[in-house]
Chains A and B, each alone.
Chain A
């Protein structure tokens, strides 16, 4: 891999880490984010160290590396978010379970945290999403279209054919939504984790 490819790999990983932690921040705000204790940069560094020191078994072609490492890092984030024994103080320091005082906030079940349907039904996430799409009919329509697919995870072409727009339009709307969610949604989580 060339230096440019390593730089691109880093960019893909850091954006994924930011997106994932942003989602986690909204989903079960009282529990999940405070349980993370790691910043996007921490997850990216940990993944790149494992990759760089040949600790990850990978035999595919170089072009498949970003997708592989993105999956590995997402697994790490999910794994951290599932840990009940570790919580984080608001300054981002890790606190062990026995150092914690009792927390009376409702505990969200981990299996509900990562599913698209439950995510869209989550009040905090939904409020943030609605805020992002409020002034944009195309984005509202896009979110509504995703919700229409009750039992499946729709691909871009499924959503495009439902809305009667070209597939590229769906990619454009996703980019727009990602930027808007970033703008509206990351402030809360940034307060809690070190960049």
Chain B
């Protein structure tokens, strides 16, 4: 009886400290469940942890446990453990290769989209104003056609009328 009371007291103290510890963590850094999956991954990355290696480590421990306590004894793996194992299973070599191809395809696709967008922008850009002026249009012309001469004459007349 006395031993049980002591154990309960110890357990309560542990719970109290765990609660205080949890409060400290959450007050300073916030609650993990408020973060998106991407933000959780970013935080692991900031810690310098290899997220894939960590996950593989956890999966291996679960896998070994399931083998040792269930599969080798010809027992069915409990549903929740089985689901967790499936969810955390690291990708196979074929899946990894597929993911690499998919990433490459996305990169090439995005590169082509950017190139297309840029070339469309260049083609749609109007010429700078000065190139539309007659002096630029005629600067390298050696022989003038009748239409050119007519245009130049009208421009000259325009300039002269402005001078007056």
Residue ranges of A at the interface with B (Cβ–Cβ < 8 Å) = 1, 3-4, 6-8, 10-12, 14-16, 18-20, 22-23, 39-42, 44-46, 48-49, 51-54, 66-67, 70-71, 74-75, 77-79, 82, 110-111, 113-116, 119, 146, 153-154, 156, 171, 174-175, 177-183, 186-187, 190, 195
Contact = CB atoms under 8 A, between A and B. Distances in A.
B138 interface: no
A19 B50 CA distance: 15
A4 B84 CA distance: 10
Given A52-B81, A114-B21, A195 B88 contact: no
A10 B49 contact: no
Contact of A6 (B13, B37, B40, B83): B83
Interface of B: 13-15, 17-18, 20-25, 27-30, 32-35, 37, 39-44, 46-50, 53-55, 57-58, 61-62, 65, 69, 78, 80-88
A24 B17 CA distance: 13
Contacts of B43: 15, 18, 175, 178-179, 182
Given A54-B78, A70-B32, A44 B58 contact: yes
Contacts of A178: 29-30, 43, 46
A1 B28 contact: no
Nearest to A154: B27
Contact of B57 (A8, A179, A195): A195
Nearest to B60: A45
Contacts, number: 179
B13 to A, nearest CB: 8
Contacts of B32: 11-12, 15-16, 19, 66, 70
Contacts of A51: 80, 84
A45 B29 contact: no
A14 B62 contact: no
B39 A175 contact: yes
12 contacts: A4-B87, A8-B37, A10-B55, A42-B61, A70-B33, A71-B18, A110-B17, A114-B24, A116-B23, A153-B24, A182-B47, A190-B48
